[in-house]
Amino acid sequence: MKYKNILVPYDGSNPSKNALSTALEYVDLGVAGKVTAFFAAPIPQFETQDFLIAEQISGSQPLTPEQTAEMQRRYIEFHREKLAKDLGAVAEEAGNALVIAIGQGKPSKAILEYAHTHHIDLIVMGSRGLSAVAGVLGSVSYAVLRNAECPVMIER
């Protein structure tokens, strides 16, 4: 087995679905052990200037640290459930070969950190995601390709 751990940054876009399909084919061929579908949830900004102004206008009290932590927990849980639902049929078919993970932060940074801390052997990702800018290669794909410690395969 050439790759024990393949990471697929997943956002529900067609390129990310194609990347996941390719990675799971590697498992079927015996080239890979497991695939992790990883979604990087952007960090919600509860303390931005706009949010604080809205609090003042509405007359509501500022969030306590506990309330902020709870809102962030719910936010991550929402994305975890959405990802599990989106990948339900694929996950059932793949069985133990597919792991679903969620991180938080700037997508390229979250992907690179996850790849480093989880000893990923290969990253298979779509050329562009849902929020991609014009061009052949999206900004997240480009950043991961340039900075990853492991090989990166870009799927169209």
**94-103: per-residue pLDDT in tens?**
888 899 999 9
Residue-number span of the structural domain to which 130 is assigned: 3-155
How far apart CA 63 and CA 46 sit, in angstroms, is 8
Query: How many domains does the structure of the chain reveal?
Result: 1
Contacts of 15 (CB under 8 A, 6+ apart): 125, 126, 127, 128, 129, 155, 156
Average of pLDDT values for 36-41? 93
Query: What is the reported pLDDT for 149?
Result: 96
- Taking only the tens place, the pLDDT of each residue in 64-105 is 778 878 888 888 899 889 888 988 888 888 888 899 999 988
* Beta carbons within 10 angstroms of residue 104's beta carbon: 15
Q: What is the CATH number of the domain that holds 76?
A: 3.40.50.620
- Taking only the tens place, the pLDDT of each residue in 104-149 is 888 999 999 999 999 999 999 998 655 544 454 578 888 999 999 9
